Structure 1
């Protein structure tokens, strides 16, 4: 999890040398050595990600990558050394958190290309759409752990990453526990399991196996995120003390008992509605293939393959694709019911595998959540503050002093409709402005 950034030893040493040499006041020399110039974002309406009422005409002061102060302009002093960004008439929200994605393996429409460069490329793509933190739940390799370990810095300029390592599998407790121990040794943040038979085509992890996995993971201090499909398995996983359900129940309507159990156990639910969309949407050319917001990052070669008639036929003739199309409707109905019952929802998409487009699909997910009955404020909180809490992340998700300055500046009010989260003026990670899709789409074509 995120930790507070200590003052670098080299800075402390420099301050000590200056103090010993005299000439300058020790206190002022120390302050100059430890304080970087500030950024002050002034005039925006701040929606802080906690569910609190928006704060109009606010000031947010950022220093050393973190939020130093935030509040109404009348209450917050702008430091004399601050670079001032006039954001009057705009809205400032926390960077979005994808509580279920995948990073590093896909190149074009192929998997199996995990590398450091690909991890960084994917994190840059997420960031360009305002997704400033990604919880990667499966397929992670040591290069991803290394990238994660480098992110606790004020110079960060791409999305943050948390990892689960390989998805834990096994037909016996012993085989599965060997994977748990291996993942823990690699330094993962989560353990991910799959309790699903892929519409009856594969063997499902049994309760004795996933029970052993959850028990061992908890001994190691690691939370367990579970992929599922069936209502019965949701109850079984709660019996085993699972920490996070990271797909929708899709086989039938959820019951009141499940909602009550999720609330009582404080177990979050990540619907990943766009996962379902990706299984069938390419049976014809999707509308979003002409959306400039999508095209700003789309690879023409990938679109060409998905537009091919033979590709569309494969999707149309796939029995599983048609079954998942039905499952999407059930998933949306269940999301609405669980949200209304007070279950904590965390935005997640399962993006990262081929044709599940990182960044764009997160915004598609927000629209599907709205169709499911969630309000714009509920969706924003599920994609920021609650997503951070559900994943156990510190220092991100809300605009408050001490947190990293991972921010999106918008030209429209997202509480008037989640589609306004696409109105990105700029994206900031640790107070550093990064290239956004809005910047890409405004560049002249070469």
Structure 2
């Protein structure tokens, strides 16, 4: 009965958002008043709006002064500020340890990431911690982004078609949201996975499956390719570390328009993860400089000591040779040109960072990638679309990614307009995550508790 009443209220708001009101005692209510709304439905700013949040949903978006603020609502003065959807990191990894992952989730939220796509734990024992954390966040017991999770990558070179179908069924039954495919997966296993995942409505994402090939991967219905460098590895046989021979001559730029066209025609989403490829280079060039960045204090100790420091840092240990660095720089330049071509061709892009692998600090790296996109020619609106509305479409969800009535109340309150300067995405004065308000002091406290 209560759900029916709420649906009626939401429908009323959709028809007439400026006159919507909530009955007293209807639940937790937040009113952000006189704020400039960046709805992300178009490249525009709606000035002097009041946004009403009820529970986990946006209840009304209307003109300030004409939109009733329910009695008892928590009122947040939005004058001079900008309200946009929370950001999405479309490629993170958790550790499978609840204590570590709780820290990672808090840091993501403190930097404005209200949704994250988790693509397989980082190899520590166990697997249930990620699902536990997702449930705790959804219930409001722990701060963090809403999580969409893949189990472990499917990478069995001997998997049969039937085995691929069983794998999907098992993951779906266990509560996972996506299927992640990887380099060595057999063609038959891949066929079974893509078929059964399509039947069950689970997006298939991941690397280019090497035995299948690039064109077959794009033609399979795979929803997303999660690193732009995958095109280089599969198509050119490029290898980042197994040779000292410079391979830039093999990276034929004449092929870039072909990559862009066939990817756009397939409707496949691409997560470039340029920020992590850049991080490989910068760590190999000067690891001490990279580890001295202030934000590295927010990488949990066990991960930092196990992967980031000099003795354990594979980027520094493997790639410091000058010829390997030249090799990587050529590959990065090629990927930058690919991103520009794919954007022009209409390939749907996502912001993902691979955090917390060395070089990508959770949350912080999302803003770095947004700047990469703008530096390569995307407008701030286009870059922000990759970190908001595109991710919702990628997951085939219509309940987040924009500031509209009925959407999940994942919101970012900023002191300056990110459409003017993408760096303003970091001017965070508050976050709403699933209807829970975190002011600037609460976000600072999350970071302070997370620091090593």
What is the TM-score normalised by the length of structure 2?
0.78
Once residues 300 and 416 of structure 1 are traced to their aligned partners in structure 2, the CA distance between those partners, rounded to angstroms, is 37
2:375 is the alignment partner of 1:371:
yes
- Contact 1:410–1:424 at 8 Å: present in 2 too? yes
Structure-2 residue corresponding to 1:218: 198
Other-structure match for 1:64: 55
* 8 A Cα contact 1:156 1:430, kept in partner: no
1:280 is matched with 281
Contact 1:96/1:131, CA 8 A, preserved across alignment: yes
Per the alignment, residue 29 of structure 2 pairs with 38
Query: 1:410, CA displacement in angstroms?
Result: 1.0
Q: How many angstroms apart in 2 are the aligned matches of 1:305 and 1:348? A: 20
The match for 1:48 is: 39
Q: 1-side partners of 2:298 and 2:312: how far apart?
A: 24
SS in 1 for 2:357: coil
Partner of 2:432: 428
Q: Does the alignment pair 1:188 with 2:176?
A: yes
| Offset from partner CA, 1:273-315 (integer Å, 9 cap, x none) | 12212323212047665655x2673568949995759964654
Structure 1 position 239 matched with structure 2 position 219: yes
Using the TM superposition, give the Cα deviation of residue 440 of structure 1 relative to its aligned residue in structure 2, in angstroms: 6.4
Q: For the Cα contact (< 8 Å) 2:104–2:299, is it kept in 1?
A: no
Within the alignment, does 1:164 sit opposite 2:144 as a pair? Answer: no
The answer as to whether partners of 1:156 and 1:429 remain within 8 angstroms in 2 is no
Which residue is equivalent to 2:9?
A: none
For residues 224 and 385 of structure 1, the distance between their equivalents in structure 2, rounded to whole angstroms, comes to 19
Q: Given that residues 99 and 391 in structure 1 are in contact (C-alpha distance below 8 angstroms), is that contact kept between their aligned partners in structure 2? A: no
Report deviation, 1:354: 4.3
Q: Is residue 229–residue 248 contact of structure 1 (8 Å, CA) maintained in 2?
A: no
8 Å contact 1:92–1:408 — kept in the other structure?
yes
Q: How much does 1:350 deviate?
A: 1.5
Tell me, yes or no, if the aligned pair for 2:24 and 2:71 is still in contact at 8 Å: no
Q: Which aligned pairs between 1:4-403 and structure 2 lie closer than 5 A?
A: 7=2, 31-32=23-24, 35-103=26-94, 105=95, 114-139=96-121, 141-153=127-139, 157-174=143-160, 176-195=164-183, 204-228=184-208, 233-249=213-229, 250-251=231-232, 252=251, 253=253, 255-283=256-284, 284-285=286-287, 294=295, 297=298, 302=304, 308=310, 312=316, 314-317=318-321, 323-403=327-407
1:407-422 alignment runs, 5 A limit: 407-422=411-426
Report Cα offsets for 1:379-414 as digits up to 9, x if no partner.
Answer: 111101111111223422111111121111111211
CA offset at residue 32 of structure 1? Answer: 4.4
Residue 117 of structure 1 aligns to a residue whose secondary structure is helix
Cα distance change of structure 1 residues 183 and 424 upon mapping to structure 2, 3 Å threshold: same
> 5+ residue gaps in structure 2?
7-21, 233-250
Whether the aligned pair in 2 keeps the contact of 1:102 and 1:138 (CA below 8 Å) is yes
Change beyond 3 A, Cα 1:257–1:325? closer
What root-mean-square deviation, in Å, do the aligned CA atoms of Structure 1 and Structure 2 show? 3.5
Q: Once the 2 structures are TM-superposed, how far is the Cα of residue 319 of structure 1 from its aligned partner?
A: 7.0
Deviations 1:57-78 (A, max 9, x none): 1111111132111133254222
The 8 Å contact of residues 95 and 407 in structure 1, kept in 2 or not, is answered as yes
Offset, 1:100: 1.5
User: Which string of whole-angstrom CA distances, capped at 9 and with x for unpartnered residues, describes residues 7-60 of structure 1?
Assistant: 489x99xxxxxxxxxxxxxxxxx9545x02421111221111223411111111
CA distance in structure 2 between the aligned counterparts of 1:386 and 1:379, rounded to whole angstroms: 10
- From the superposition, tell whether residues 241 and 320 of structure 1 become closer, same or farther in structure 2 (CA, over 3 Å): farther
Q: 1:418 to 1:287 in 2, by over 3 A?
A: farther
Structure 2 distance, partners of 1:304, 1:364, is: 24
Q: Which runs of 5+ in 1 are unaligned?
A: 1-5, 13-29, 106-113, 196-203
* CA distance in structure 2 between the partners assigned to 1:47 and 1:287 by the alignment: 36
Shift of 1:80: 3.0
Partner SS state of residue 182, structure 2: strand
CA contact (8 A) 2:110 2:447 kept: no
Counterpart in the other structure of 2:16: none
Contact 2:23-2:70 at 8 Å conserved across structures: no
